Structure 1
Amino acid sequence: MAPRDILQQITGDLRLSLGLLTRLPLPGEPDLTRGAAAAWAWPLAGLAPALLAGLAIWLTSGLGSGLSAALALAVMAMVTGAMHEDGLADTADGLWGGWTAERRLEIMKDSHIGTYGVLALILSVLARWSLLAGLITAGQALPALMAAALLSRVPMVALMAWMPPAREGGLSRAVGQPPLEAAGIGGGVALVLAMALTGSTAIWAALLIAAVAIALGMLAKAKIGGQTGDILGASQQLSEIAALAVLAASL
């Protein structure tokens, strides 16, 4: 493949990933022919909400780390359409709210939120807010946010490549199953860039994220027989917490 064709494929995959994982207004129409093979670029798409959150932190730097962290989380939720937060809430409700795989999937598809979902969101936001506030105080918020954004989206690709969809419909099945190479490329790119941002600490963050993703994948396999878009969203949120925790602990 010619260098120009490679560059066009990379930019097309990134455009498709941004269109899927963010609510940013993008010019033109995405190239849908690559399908799930473009999933390697999902970690790169995560840089968009991270950079905008970093801008929010910079603009509110005189208002205190707590408020800056809250606004940064709000910006990331708006840029992504809170789709990952929604996945976490639905996953918590479904995996702990039903007695059969069919009932759990039904609960996860329901637009209403239950007690488990509310608790999961509260704990997730509190964890990310407290960790981010500490990183802001230490002056390390932007590289940490970018590294966490890169690494936390790798499990989404890996779980899709590793596990079958748990239901016939839904976003996960519509996107398709990425090839294992896509997960490998995405993981490699994310780790290299995260190491450039945060040094060798990124390796420890990646190892903890891998453990979290494997545990979630095994739980989803046991309870619903595979992965869904909600499981993928939950993996991103839990992985982001893991990454920020490691990066904050390294200060």
Structure 2
Amino acid sequence: MTGRLAEEGRLVLLAVQFLTRLPLPFAPGYTPERMGHAMRYFPLVGLAIGGGLAAVYALSALVFPPVVAALLAVAAGVRLTGALHEDGLADMADGLGGGATRERALEIMRDSRIGSYGAVTLGLVLALKVAALAGLGAAAAGALVGAHGLSRLSTLALSAALPYARAEGKAVFASVGLGPMGWPIALAGGAAALLVLMATAGIVAAVTALIAAVLVTLWLGRMMRRRLGGQTGDGLGAAQQLGETAILLELLAWA
């Protein structure tokens, strides 16, 4: 039992190491299989990330107007995560926008440079998130916690539903599976995020936000299957960003 708990603790640290730029006191021991199992903790780590950003928003709102507090919270998220998912969204937009064939799209997505499709898409998504948070006002802090936790389920759903589109790559671990008790742990994190949204915006708003995130995930998954033949790390990052944005916008619609 002690060994099992120690391993779960290392998996949590792997998830933190992957999703953030926080310095860890020791290396938790990366392997593709263990990283795949660590994905079960993505929603819980997302909750923690959202909590940090909620604190930034709440403290900033004491001094600045809501739009400035929202900008600072979004900027803090980009810094904390190293723009991991934002980079995936931009690469995905460039690949699907500029690649006429599957092979060309995947080639574009490997390019570290950002193109016009990626720049426009990323700018619009960041602007929508800032505008939604500013519009939510006092509810923005709770929305950040819930949206960051719940949107990480989108990446897990797509990694389980779609094969990996490349023969090899950095995100090949996403096809490994969550391991024993993986989905119950992941869904518990998602349920906790949904409860936060219910407490923040009400049951109806939270459920419709969940539905919006599901619809966005289904749409993106269908597009990745049709255009790429499966999922990639960039696609999973795009799913998180679009899911988070859909949740925030739906909450704003009910505010």
TM-score under structure 1 normalisation?
0.91
Indicate conservation of the 8 Å contact 2:91/2:108, yes or no: yes
Match of 1:234 among 230, 234, 238: 238
- CA distance 1:45–1:156, shift in 2 (3 Å): same
CA distance in 2, matches of 1:245, 1:5: 43
CA distance in 1, matches of 2:70, 2:242: 18
C-alpha displacement at 1:179, in angstroms? 4.2
Match for 1:15: what amino acid? Answer: L
Deviates more, 1:73-82 or 1:43-52: 43-52
Partner of 1:40: 40
- CA distance 1:19–1:123, shift in 2 (3 Å): same
Partner of 1:221: 225
C-alpha displacement at 1:50, in angstroms? 1.6
Match of 1:211 among 198, 210, 215: 215
What is the SS of the residue equivalent to 2:171?
helix
Partner of 2:69: 68
Match for 1:42: what amino acid? Answer: F
CA distance in 2, matches of 1:41, 1:240: 17
Indicate conservation of the 8 Å contact 2:153/2:190, yes or no: no
C-alpha displacement at 1:207, in angstroms? 1.8
Alignment size in residue pairs? 247
Partner of 2:107: 106
- CA distance 1:126–1:41, shift in 2 (3 Å): same
What is the SS of the residue equivalent to 1:166?
coil
Identity of aligned residues (%): 38
Within-5 A mapping of 1:47-58: 47-58=47-58
CA distance in 2, matches of 1:19, 1:226: 25
CA distance in 2, matches of 1:186, 1:124: 29
What is the SS of the residue equivalent to 1:107?
helix
Match for 2:46: what amino acid? Answer: G
Moved over 6 A (4+): 180-183
Match for 2:19: what amino acid? Answer: L
CA distance in 2, matches of 1:197, 1:214: 23
Partner of 1:13: 11
Partner of 2:193: 194
C-alpha displacement at 1:187, in angstroms? 4.7
| Alignment gaps of 5+ in structure 1 | none
C-alpha displacement at 1:6, in angstroms? 5.0
Within-5 A mapping of 1:164-175: 164-175=163-174
TM-score under structure 2 normalisation?
0.90
CA distance in 2, matches of 1:73, 1:67: 10
Residue-by-residue CA offset, 1:176-212 (whole Å, 9 max, x unaligned): 4224876733552133212331222333222221111
| Alignment gaps of 5+ in structure 2 | none
Partner of 2:147: 148
Match for 1:205: what amino acid? Answer: A
Partner of 1:24: 22
- CA distance 1:183–1:98, shift in 2 (3 Å): farther
Residue-by-residue CA offset, 1:120-163 (whole Å, 9 max, x unaligned): 0111011101001112x2x1122110100111111111111111
**What is the aligned-residue RMSD (CA, Å)?**
1.9
Indicate conservation of the 8 Å contact 1:166/1:225, yes or no: yes
Indicate conservation of the 8 Å contact 1:157/1:183, yes or no: no
Partner of 1:97: 98
CA distance in 2, matches of 1:193, 1:5: 26
